[in-house]
Amino acid sequence: MKSLKKVELHLHLEGAAPPAFIRGLAREHHTDLSGMFDDQGRYHYRGFNDFLRVYEAATSVVRGPADYARLLSAVLNECGEQGAIYVELFVSPEFCGDADLSAWRDHLGAMEEVAKAYALSGVESRAILTCIRHYGPDRAKKTAICAAETAGGWVAGLGLAGAEDLGEPKDFAWSFDCAREAGLGLTAHAGEWRGPESVRGVLDLGVTRIGHGIRAIEDPALVRDLAEREITLEVCPGSNVALGVVRDWASHPIARLADAGVRVTVSTDDPPFFHTTLSREYDMLADRFGWAETEFRQMNLWAAEAAFCDNETRDRLK
Ligand code: ADE
Ligand code: ZN
């Protein structure tokens, strides 16, 4: 399904780093990442907490603006290969320590130059600066301030990722209010590791989209609410299967959510960690649920409508 034009709303920049790219940076920075890769050179972890550990260790070798620019270039190149015409990338400054984030203007400036070059070749992108739940609300505030101060160009949103079972959504209300006042789009991971009450918690933060959100299926009233309020779910089925959120593709609730009128879209989350690609996700949806041109077109329209971009860009995606 590579040739189909796609809009991807949920891709972590750090989680999309090719393992060989990370090994190269580890050598340059004299950092030992042994044990993080299997004998085929792929990321190696057991379960979600270990995934977060390996993910953060890999991210620790991506350091200054030049490293981030090279990473973005590698990632957008692969997005283009997958037929993506628009991508929103979660970028988490908090992985660079809890120091003052004012230096992040330089990181973002270097990435924006790369993003502009790829936009000229047909892969448009925006960044969603992303708070890490398990680092707590104080560090999140710094990310929100950084996002608010850089809003308007490449930075288009604020997100919340990390361990869903640590901390309540309301703990991050200050950060989400700050971002909303700056005109940023809002999304948060929920309904991946926790159930419906977690999804309701992020709705109270004022998000228009939810990362994953699939466990809303456990509560029919919530499913109706999501459909009525036109909340868009950034569903990443391959991630859910690889991390064990669902047993297998056949039992994934994406088709049931779509049938209930919820705006579902499809993304890859952290593709090399889950041995997936955007076109593979489409192939699997076609194979397991019989989805074809009509369903994919509808999904990409919803993604375009929910994208955190200006209307002129949005119209080009439809
Ligand atoms: N960060 C990267 N991938 C994630 C996921 N699937 N859930 C929560 N945080 C993440
Ligand atoms: Zn994610």
Residue 76: predicted pLDDT? 98
Question: Which atom of ligand 1 is least distant from the CA of 133?
Answer: 9
Q: Could you say which of 94, 192, 234, 295 is catalytic?
A: 192
Looking at residues 112-118, what average pLDDT do you find?
Answer: 98
Looking at residues 14-23, what average pLDDT do you find?
Answer: 98
Looking at residues 287-310, what average pLDDT do you find?
Answer: 97
Amino acid, res. 218: E
Dihedral sign (CA 234, 235, 238, 240): positive
Catalytic site includes residue 81: no
SS (H, E, C) the chain: CCCCCEEEEEEECHHHCCHHHHHHHHHHCCCCCCCCECCCCCECCCHHHHHHHHHHHHHCCCCCHHHHHHHHHHHHHHHHHCCEEEEEEEECHHHHCCCCHHHHHHHHHHHHHHHHHHHHCCCEEEEEEEEEHHHCHHHHHHHHHHHHHHECCCEEEEEEECCCCCCCHHHHHHHHHHHHHCCCEEEEEECCCCCHHHHHHHHCCCCCEEEECHHHHHCHHHHHHHHHCCCEEEECHHHHHHHCCCCCHHHCCHHHHHHCCCEEEECCECHHHCCCCHHHHHHHHHHHHCCCHHHHHHHHHHHHHHCCCCHHHHHHHC
Residue 26 CA to ligand 1 center (angstroms) comes to 22
Is residue 240 within 6 Å of ligand 1 at its C-beta?
no
Contact between 307 and 317 under an 8 Å Cβ cutoff? The reply is: yes
Q: What is the pLDDT of residues 221-270, one digit of tens each?
A: 999 999 999 999 999 999 999 999 999 999 999 999 999 999 999 999 99
Cα–Cα distance measured from residue 265 to residue 235, given in angstroms and rounded to the nearest whole number? 6
- State the Cα torsion 35-61-85-131 to the nearest 10°: 100
Looking at residues 267-278, what average pLDDT do you find?
Answer: 98
Q: Does residue 184 carry a pLDDT above 80?
A: yes
Residue 2: predicted pLDDT? 85
Q: Over the chain, what is the mean pLDDT?
A: 97
Q: Which of 187, 212, 269 for a ligand 1 pocket mutation test, highest count of atoms within 8 Å of Cβ?
A: 269
Q: Does residue 98 carry a pLDDT above 90?
A: no
Q: Does residue 133 carry a pLDDT above 90?
A: yes
Looking at residues 23-33, what average pLDDT do you find?
Answer: 97
Confidence of residue 142 (pLDDT cuts 50, 70, 90): very high
Is residue 124 within 6 Å of ligand 1 at its C-beta?
no
CATH superfamily of 6-308: Metal-dependent hydrolases (3.20.20.140)
Confidence of residue 102 (pLDDT cuts 50, 70, 90): confident
Confidence of residue 103 (pLDDT cuts 50, 70, 90): confident
pLDDT > 70: what percent of the chain? 99
Domain residue limits, the chain: 6-308
Cα–Cα distance measured from residue 150 to residue 156, given in angstroms and rounded to the nearest whole number? 9
Residue 229 CA to ligand 2 center (angstroms) comes to 22
Amino acid, res. 310: D
Quick one: tokens of 84? 């993506």
Cα–Cα distance measured from residue 196 to residue 80, given in angstroms and rounded to the nearest whole number? 35
Closest to 299 in 3D by CA, of 242, 255, 245:
255
Q: Say which residue, 306 or 167, is predicted with more confidence.
A: 306
Residue 172: predicted pLDDT? 98
Ligand nearest to the CA of 162: 1
Cα–Cα distance measured from residue 27 to residue 67, given in angstroms and rounded to the nearest whole number? 13
Cα–Cα distance measured from residue 184 to residue 242, given in angstroms and rounded to the nearest whole number? 31
pTM for the whole structure: 0.98
Q: Does residue 100 carry a pLDDT above 80?
A: no
Residue 1: predicted pLDDT? 84
Q: What is the pLDDT of residues 42-78, one digit of tens each?
A: 999 999 999 999 999 999 999 999 999 999 999 999 9
Closest to 139 in 3D by CA, of 97, 189, 178, 167:
97
Q: Does residue 99 carry a pLDDT above 80?
A: no
Residue 73 CA to ligand 1 center (angstroms) comes to 21
Question: Which atom of ligand 1 is least distant from the CA of 270?
Answer: 3
